[in-house]
Amino acid sequence: MANLKEVKERINSVVSTQQITKAMKMVAAAKLRRAQDKIIQMRPYSQKLTAILNNVSAGIEGGSDLVYAEKREVNNVLIVPVTSDKGLCGAFNTNIIKAATAAINTEYADKKITILPLGKKAYETFKKREYSVIGDFYQVFSDLTFDVVKDAAEYAMGEFEKGTYDKVVLVYNEFKNVATQIVRNEQFLPMEKEETDEVASGTNVDYIMEPSRDYIIQELVPTSLKIQFYKAVLESNASEHGARMTAMDKATENAGELLKDLRLMYNRTRQAAITNEILEIVAGAEALGGE
């Protein structure tokens, strides 16, 4: 049985760890509120912009000639895994890395793969595995704004337009609630027409366009793609804080359970030590009385 000093040191260590996990949970909760507000505000805007784009481009002649919708033989694939900069968020980062790796080894096994990581964890992991990694944009979460994320989106769009990549794929966590994040493997380029509520219901809005329908589409498509890219990053950001809050809450609970066991062990060890001392005193007293 461990001595009292060892058990006491373990109790102090667990108490300190529990205080840290409690503080991290509170910080994650505060950040989650802001991140959740951002993504909730972004979703309706992104959905409406996509609906307008689909409606406007539905009847355009030569709509399939849009460079970002060009479908070609897939030989070079750009994969964009979105992780966090820090750990201690459960399986958040692991799930993304597993999903991206699974896609590389199965769907794109015979393709040339390039990784555009967003988040330090993705950058470090794929760099260590000796993939071709573009390391110019992985620090987006140090200053998460549309202008910062837009640079990464413009790079992917520009290289697709040049023909460097035939397909661009986003791998990220979609925020559902604090305890649930859904891993998405989403084709970013070439564009795929999304089924919106307006299209599904057969509603066709007649827009008045100046200077022309073609010009509007050429301006609207890049904006829509950048918004879609930014939305994926915001989803991942909210998911990260939700995952970290859940992980730290669970860690705090586990520390509490461990403290109960350690305190029980401490009391038992202390009682055993007291019992041994009493027995020694009794035995000594009997020995003296026998003389």
From residue 186, alpha-carbon distances to 19, 82, 103 in Å are: 39, 12, 11
CA distance 287 to 282: 9
On whether the CB atoms of residues 112 and 76 are closer than 8 A, the answer is yes
Question: Can you read off the two tokens belonging to residue 46?
Answer: 């992104």
Strands 132-133 and 76-81: unpaired
Please list, in sequence order, all residues whose beta carbon lies within 8 angstroms of the beta carbon of residue 173, skipping any fewer than 6 positions away: 82, 92, 95, 96, 181, 182, 183, 184, 235, 236, 239, 240, 243
Count of CA atoms in the C-beta half-sphere (13 A) of 186: 22
Residue 75 has a CB neighbour count (10 Å cut-off) of 12
Supply the residues annotated as catalytic: 89
Please list, in sequence order, all residues whose beta carbon lies within 8 angstroms of the beta carbon of residue 42, skipping any fewer than 6 positions away: 227, 230, 231, 234
Count of CA atoms in the C-beta half-sphere (13 A) of 210: 0
Question: Can you read off the two tokens belonging to residue 38?
Answer: 């951002």
On whether the CB atoms of residues 114 and 81 are closer than 8 A, the answer is no
**Nearest to 144, CA basis, from 210, 234, 208:** 234
